[in-house]
Amino acid sequence: MATHLHAPHHRVEDFRLVTGTGRYAADWNLPGQLYAHFVRSDRAHAEIVAVNVEAARRHPGVRRIYTGEDAIAAGYTKWFVILNYPGRGGMQIRKPMRPALAARRVRHVGEAVAMVVADSPAAAQDAAELVEIEYRDLPAVVSPEEALQDGAPLLHEDIPGNLAFEYEAGDEEAVKEAFARAAHVSRIKLEVSRVAPSPLEPRACTVAYHPGEDRYHVYVCIQGINMMRRQLSVATDVPEDKIVVHAQDVGGSFGQRSAAYPEYCMQMLAARELGRPVKWVSTRSEGFMSDTHGRANTITGELALDAEGRFLAMRVDWIADMGAYLSATGSASHTRNPSTCLTGVYRIPALYGRWRLAFTNTVPVAAYRGAGRPDVAYAIERLVSQAAWELKMDPAELRRRNFIPPEAFPYKTPTGSTYENADFPGVLEKALRLADWKGFAKRRARSERAGRLRGIGIATVIENTGAGLFPKDQVTIECGADGTVTVYSVAQSSGQGHETTFAMLVADALELPLEKVRLRESVQEKGLIGNHTGGSRSLVGAGSVCRLAAQQLLAQARSAAAEELEVEPSQVEYSRGVFHVRGGREKISLAALAGKRRLALTAEASVGSTFPNGCHIAEVEIDPETGVSRIVAYNAVDDAGNVINHTVVEGQVHGAVAQGAGQVFGEKVVYDRASGQMLTGSFMDYCMPRAGLLPEIRLEDHPVPSKINVLGAKGVGESGCTASLPALANAVMDALRPLGVEQLDMPYTPARVWHAIQEARKGVR
């Protein structure tokens, strides 16, 4: 009996979240807690000549002030980096030393230099203003391309050329040979802007140290307790089992919340040394200059085609900005993810990619919704649409001609990944109908008559969901004597709706009403192995195991019921929470059974990557007088595998498309080239998307179920970003190309679009 699945279902967590009764990181308060405030660098690159904390120390209420020397003395200088594979020519990734508080040198504006711990937040902040830091300025470099050039200011003395890592994938020679015989070559150089992810919830952390148990309790915004614990342990050398991470609600994560930040480690040190809990809540301004940034890739792409428009080869040269230090995820996100999907949805016989990861005097870059996949899809899809324009072909037809056909799956790509299954032509045709692709010429003519430029953009994309950092996902399930089933998972939700979707999977398997099933995430006492939420994997991983756990619980209960009813298990039938003896009148409920016996177990599975894919088609209208772009239509067809809850899936796609639109039309972190100062340090200058940016998004699904997980799910958290960046950018380019604009980078702000139009009209381009 499938009572719950595949239907729209409102989220059960929303009442709590929208009525202010959620519990976010800053909502945790512990008796006797002290407050931390961080003194941050106002320089992009400078030697620290002296730090004078005497005046600050004398300020009333100050308990202790920590500086970089304390961080070094504690040994808090090494950080967890998930990248664990060799690069080009066997190169190992170069991990710079990063004291949890800057010592001797600062490398970006906002880097924490000192921590004041005091009795109140105000006392800590007041004292922080009394900390005197003497700097000797060094030349700064904020552009990754410039950082890699000879003679660029060097950030880390032991890392030559500011090069963190060089990586390659594919067959360089085969690509060279294919380009030599190509009938047409398209080239593009793109910038995927650096963005400040800006979750609604600011970062916050409270740490308590319990000397009796010798354990640290860390209350913090996370994507998963195990990932946070692993990183804190690497940075502080405190064993993982001595760190207990607590979280209930997380207000947005986007990759940025997976990191163990230096602030948390310093709070651990202070909590132990001072014997009192230490709390810190970030301001939005601090967030801009200390929370990890996203994207920040410069990509040069080339596509070789034969005379019939068939792709022969593609190569990319990719410069990834890592910022001043390595985050846990940035380096792997911007090499392995794009190389996994380098062929896109196309059969391209020869592929080659080369990646260089650069250090710059900027905030470190980490995974950000899609984590390299939107970036590579952006490069491929911009290139393909440009090729169609150059060859005077319909961009849909050029795609159709080059798709990996359905019968070719499982498809081994030239860069070594294996796509499980997909129906690209089916997805495309559905999207073309949904978007009325054929009617575009009429709509464009109508816009023209009103003095506006109209463009249509298409993107057909694929991405790999995360295989996971931990080897398996475990879920514990328990049935109480009141008939309530509690499910424990370590994949923390930060808006994905796990409490609804995972509960549906369990309630459906157990034929129980949804309210009888409760999900509890991030309960460390359960000791579960499992991955954090990231890489669109939590339904595929933890969700699948929830389903397995429910099925196994039912089997366990059936055996127990058979014993209680004194029949063979095969004689026991189950329906809606009650076991019956077949053909008899004896019965026992799940609740009654749980009152007599322990009904509980831990299920597990190792679930690899799935490959969600889709086709998004956007239309924009541009006012040439002001350069303002308006999204006038957005259509999306996604293959996310089997959809468990349409409401949640639509919410994920809406949010991700809006996030992509925000980046395409407004968001960009800008640093001053000379001083290294951040010029977009608040929402006055950093343009977040507003609700009015998007029209109604029209969605359809086209599920080709995955076979690698019991749900047939493929993951959907990030695909909206992956598809919307190229779909929207292609729409803008389609509107501008007829004027002679050949290439324009995001963000398509009114000023940038207007200037492009002016220059094209002047014939400058």
Partner 1 sequence: MYAVNYVRPKSLAEAAKFLARNPEAKLLSGGMTLVPTLKARLARPSHLVDIARLPELRGVRAAAGVLSVGAAVKHYEVATSPVVKKAIPALAELAGLIGDPQVRNMGTIGGSVANNDPAADYPAAVLALDASVVTNRRTIPAADYFQGLFATALEEGEIIVRIAFPVPKRAAYAKFPHPASGYAMAGVFIAQTAGGVRVAVTGAGPGVFRWKEAESALAKSLKPAALEGAALDASNLNEDIHASRDYRANLVRVMARRALEKLSGRK
Closer Cβ to partner 1, 464 or 680, answer by number: 680
From 680, 706, 719, 730, residue interacting with partner 1 (rule: CB under 8 A): 680
Nearer to partner 1, 2 or 684 (CB): 684
What is the closest distance, in whole angstroms, from the C-beta atom of residue 626 to partner 1 in the complex?
A: 6
Among 18, 73, 122, 408, binds partner 1 (CB under 8 A): 122
**What is the residue type of 378?**
Y
Stretch that binds partner 1, among 123-131, 392-400, 401-409, 722-730 (CB under 8 A): 123-131
How buried is residue 35: exposed, middle or buried, by Cβ count under 10 Å (0-12/13-18/19+)?
buried
Q: Which one, of 53, 73, 68, 134, lies nearest residue 99 by Cα?
A: 68
CA 600 vs CA 126, 287, 472, 610: distances in Å: 53, 42, 19, 30
Instruction: Output the smallest distance, CB 662 to partner 1, in A.
Output: 11
Q: How far is the CB of 537 from partner 1 (least distance, A)?
A: 33
Using CB under 8 A as the binding rule, whether residue 683 contacts partner 1 is answered as: yes
| Residue with smaller CB distance to partner 1, 284 or 654 | 284
CA 314, 724, 609, 407 torsion: positive or negative? negative
Question: According to CB under 8 A, which one of 173, 688, 761, 765 is a site residue for partner 1?
Answer: 688
Residue closer to partner 1 by CB (options 555, 751) is 751
CA angle (383 as vertex; 381, 386 as ends), nearest 5: 110
Nearer to partner 1, 203 or 547 (CB): 203
- In whole angstroms, the minimum distance from the beta carbon of 367 to partner 1 comes to 25
Helix axes 646-665, 719-736, angle to 10 degrees: 40
In this complex, which beta carbon is closest to partner 1, that of residue 195 or of residue 640? Answer: 195
Q: Are 66 and 266 in contact (CB under 8 A)?
A: yes
The nearest distance, CB 625 to partner 1, in angstroms, is 5
Choose which of 185, 687, 694, 739 interacts with partner 1 (CB under 8 A): 687
Binding of residue 237 to partner 1 (CB under 8 A): no
Query: Going by C-beta distance under 8 Å and a sequence separation of 6 or more, which residues neighbour residue 188?
Result: 300, 301, 302, 379, 382, 383, 386, 743
**Binding map of partner 1 across residues 482-511, x = CB under 8 A, - = no contact:** ------------------------------
Among the listed ranges 98-106, 125-133, 438-446, 643-651, the one in contact with partner 1 (CB under 8 A) is: 125-133
**Where in 266-295 is the site for partner 1 (CB under 8 A)?**
285
Choice between 668 and 702, CB closer to partner 1: 668
With binding defined as CB under 8 A, does residue 754 bind partner 1? yes
Place of tokens 């958290």: 717
Contact in structure between 484 and 518 (CB atoms under 8 Å): yes
Nearer to partner 1, 488 or 671 (CB): 671
Query: Per the structure block, which two tokens stand in for 283?
Result: 């301001």
Measured in whole angstroms, the distance separating CA 649 from the mean position of its chain's CA atoms is 16
Cβ 623 to partner 1, closest distance in Å? 9
Minimum CB distance to partner 1 smaller for 126 or for 423: 126
Output 592 or 628, the one with its CB closest to partner 1.
Answer: 628
Longest CA–CA span in the chain (Å) reads: 91
Selected from 598, 679, 738, 764, the binder of partner 1 by CB under 8 A is: 679
396 burial class (0-12, 13-18, 19+ CB within 10 angstroms)? Answer: buried
**Interacting residue with partner 1 among 254, 318, 579, 686 (CB under 8 A):** 686
694 lies in the site for partner 1, by CB under 8 A = no
CA 466 – CA 752 distance, rounded (Å): 36
In terms of CB distance, is 438 or 690 closer to partner 1?
Answer: 690
Q: Report 649-668 residues binding partner 1 (CB under 8 A).
A: 665-666
Taking CB under 8 A as the rule, does residue 18 contact partner 1? no
Q: Residue 129 or 213: which CB sits closer to partner 1?
A: 129
* Residue 120 contacts partner 1 per CB under 8 A: no
Of 722-751, binders to partner 1 (CB under 8 A) are 749-751
Of 592-651, which residues contact partner 1 (CB under 8 A)? 625-627
First to last CA, the chain: 64
Stretch that binds partner 1, among 501-509, 676-684, 694-702, 724-732 (CB under 8 A): 676-684
Which residue, 38 or 165, has its beta carbon nearer to partner 1?
A: 38
Contact between residue 318 and residue 75 where contact means Cβ atoms under 8 Å apart: no
Q: What is the 3-state secondary structure (H, E, C) of 152-176?
A: CCCCCCCCHHHEEEEEEEECHHHHH
389 phi, psi to nearest 5 deg: -60, -45
Structure tokens at 7: 């239907």
Three-state secondary structure call for residue 751: helix
Site for partner 1 contains 674 (CB under 8 A): no
Tell me whether residue 122 or residue 180 sits nearer to partner 1 (CB atom). Answer: 122
CB of 85 or CB of 683, closer to partner 1: 683
> Under rule CB under 8 A, how many of the chain's residues touch partner 1?
25
Please identify, using beta-carbon distances, which residue of 478 and 667 lies nearer to partner 1: 667
Based on the shown chain and the rule CB under 8 A, indicate whether residue 174 belongs to the binding site for partner 1. no
CB of 120 to partner 1, least distance (A): 11
204-210 vs 215-220, strand pairing mode: antiparallel
Instruction: Pick the binder of partner 1 from 451, 684, 692, 763 (CB under 8 A).
Output: 684
Q: How far is the CB of 682 from partner 1 (least distance, A)?
A: 9
- Count CB neighbours of 4 within 10 A: 23
Helix (H, G, I), strand (E, B) or coil at 426: helix
Q: Determine if 50 is a binding residue for partner 1 (CB under 8 A).
A: no
From 634, 757, 754, 756, select the one nearest 689 (Cα to Cα). Answer: 634
C-beta of 586 vs 623, nearer to partner 1: 623
Cα distance between residue 44 and residue 323, in whole Å: 11
Strands (DSSP E) contained in 81-202 are: 105-106, 112-118, 132-137, 163-170, 184-195
- Binding-site string for partner 1 from residue 539 to residue 558, where x marks contact by CB under 8 A and - marks none: --------------------
Taking CB under 8 A as the binding criterion, the range among 84-92, 394-402, 523-531, 681-689 that sits at the site for partner 1 is: 681-689
Token pair, residue 188, equals 């593009």
What is the C-alpha separation between 258 and 81, in angstroms, rounded?
12
Applying CB under 8 A, among 14, 134, 240, 685 the residue interacting with partner 1 is 685
Taking the mean position of all CA atoms in its chain, how far away is CA 568?
50
> How many C-beta neighbours within 10 Å does residue 408 have?
13
What's the CA gap between 663 and 188, in Å, rounded?
19
Nearest-approach distance from CB 460 to partner 1, in angstroms: 30
Q: How far apart are CA 434 and CA 428, in angstroms?
A: 10
Q: How far is the CB of 282 from partner 1 (least distance, A)?
A: 14
Using the minimum distance from each CB to partner 1, give the nearer residue, 506 or 760.
Answer: 760
For 700, other C-beta atoms within 10 Å of its C-beta total 15
Compute the distance between CA of residue 742 and CA of residue 733 in angstroms, rounded to an integer: 8
Minimum distance, C-beta of residue 118 to partner 1, in the bound complex (Å): 15
Distance CA 712, CA 406 (A): 17
Q: Of 567, 670, 694, 739, which one interacts with partner 1 (CB under 8 A)? A: 670
Interface residues with partner 1 (CB under 8 A)?
122, 125-126, 129, 285, 625-627, 665-666, 670, 679-680, 683-688, 749-751, 754-755, 758
